[in-house]
């Protein structure tokens, strides 16, 4: 039903293939527009929009080791390192 089609990337101007499988996926999801960017330009665009995540250092409430966390620790809440957190989650 679908055939591979060659499209031109609107960012880099290179030709890329919109495969039959991708076309079927687009139809299943109800997408009406074809992709306008090649895979590498789509990935580059996604990565640019993500801000760099800030990490904080805290002391693990369980083992006393260093914990790097993606949120500002509060004095009234315990913080756990990755290992201790994983052990607590699986317990």
Q: What CA–CA distances, in Å, run from 88 to 51, 68, 69, 81?
A: 30, 17, 16, 11
pLDDT at 61: 93
Global pTM reads: 0.52
Does 60 lie in the same domain as 45?
A: no
Q: Which domain holds residue 65?
A: 56-90
**Confidence (pLDDT) at 12:** 96
Residue 79's nearest CA partner among 89, 90, 87, 64 is 64
Residue 63 and residue 30 in one domain: no
Q: Are residues 18 and 45 in the same domain?
A: yes
**36 and 68, same domain (yes or no):** no
42 and 68 inside one domain: no
The domain total for the chain is 2
Are 68 and 38 found together in one domain? no
Residues 12 and 43 in one domain: yes
Same domain as 61, residue 45: no
pLDDT at 66: 93
For residues 2-23, give the mean pLDDT.
96
> pLDDT tens digit string along 31-84?
999 999 999 999 988 887 667 789 999 999 999 999 999 999 988 999 999 999
Q: Are residues 20 and 43 in the same domain?
A: yes
């Amino acid at each position: 039903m679908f055939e591979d089609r060659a499209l031109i990337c609107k960012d880099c101007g290179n030709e890329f293939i919109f495969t039959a499988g991708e076309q079927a996926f687009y139809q299943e999801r109800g997408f009406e527009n074809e992709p306008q960017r090649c895979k590498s330009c789509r990935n580059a665009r996604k990565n640019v929009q993500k801000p760099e995540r800030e990490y904080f250092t805290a002391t693990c409430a369980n083992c006393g080791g260093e914990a790097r966390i993606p949120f500002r620790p509060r004095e009234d809440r315990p913080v756990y390192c990755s290992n201790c957190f994983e052990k607590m989650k699986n317990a």
